[in-house]
Copies of this chain bind each other. A is one copy, B any other.
Amino acid sequence: MTQPVRHDAMRARNLGLVLGEVHRAAPLTRAALAELTGLTKSTVSKLVGDLVDAGFLAETGPARVGERGRPGVSVVLSGARVASLGLEVNVDYLAGCVLDLSGTVRFSRRIERDNRGRRPARVLRSLQKLADGLLAEAEAAGLSLAGAVLAVSGPVADGVLASAPNLGWRDVRAADLLRLPVPVSLENEANLGALGELWFGAGSPEFLYVSGEIGIGAGLVVGSELFRGARGLAGELGHVVVSSSGPGCRCGARGCLETYAGQEAVLTAAGVRTVEALVRQLAADDPRAVRAVAAAAEALGLALTSAVNLLDLDRIVLGGIFGPLFRWLAPAAESVLADRLGPLRGSVPVLAPSTLGATAATLGAAGTTIHRVLADPASFPVR
């Protein structure tokens, strides 16, 4: 339900508005902020003053030197106070990073390890240690933690990881197994990858991020916001129908995208064990590898055709294993899209490779809290 607006809510929104503009347009004077936000100079002065006092903004040198008139004082996002923690559990690694409010990665850690078949409690104990280490570093740097988000590779609804097929987990409240000084939210890795690419990488205000792993997930961004669907399970691109009668899928259906373009399907078809090996074979023009990737690309193109028809996408960022395979995968997928969508829509969506690679989800997780602080700094009191 919608909340009533009182004076404090009005203020909260305007604080967020100011912070958001500083975020968008780097160093900015109070005068420029008044112009951009539509608030008066007096109001902006008060808001900026409070934000500086609270440690969200910092004044830098004078702006506009050499020109006529009193030079304004530039403010920027201050990286001195707020810390945001992003964590990720994946099949082959655990990762975490700490961002400050300016979006800079201040600390990051990564443990390479095969987590297949390990129990949730055990894996999260390792992650707890990683997080504790990061938080100690953050504290030593004078940062205080505003929030934490954990990325997992499987559908998440209501704080529960419903299933993580590659880990062999079902119905795990993964975030609740961590003990941190702030509540931890749990979110799907593809959704967070999308946010990571949106804020730090190849994203745009409207795009689809495709995360190709053993399963194929996708995160949709519309109007710079994540689209989660009714229960947060949107984006299951891996089980979009490519053929009603294709190979059997672990989901029980047949001909899902995953059976054509999932990691296992591609590697098996190419006759290799790892993505690195596949890339080597492709670079060497190995016909079997080329054929395998072409088949995956064709299927990906068909599934993306359905996605574009339903979601109206004009940009698609390919991450996960599709990142390293982009060179060989994209042209064939693009040509399917062009053939099937071109005549009706006029334009064809642009395919782009992920620029963040494996760090996309962790960065998206950490960025989530930054984003929330920027939108409503008042709800994150300073100690």
Contact = CB atoms under 8 A, between A and B. Distances in A.
Interface stretch (A94-102, A282-290, A304-312, A355-363): A304-312
A92 interface: no
A186 B303 CA distance: 30
A212 to B, nearest CB: 15
A222 interface: yes
Contact of A17 (B4, B229, B235, B303): B4
Contacts of A235: 310, 312
Interface string A13-49: 1101100100000000000000001110000000000
A231 B222 CA distance: 10
Contact of A305 (B9, B162, B241): B241
Interface residues of A, number: 63
Contact of A340 (B2, B163, B230, B241): B241
Nearest to A313: B230
Given A241-B241, A253-B305, A306-B241, A222 B230 contact: yes
A229 B10 contact: no
Contact of A310 (B4, B37, B240): B240
Contacts of A242: 241, 244
Interface in A313-359: 313-314, 339-346
A227 interface: yes
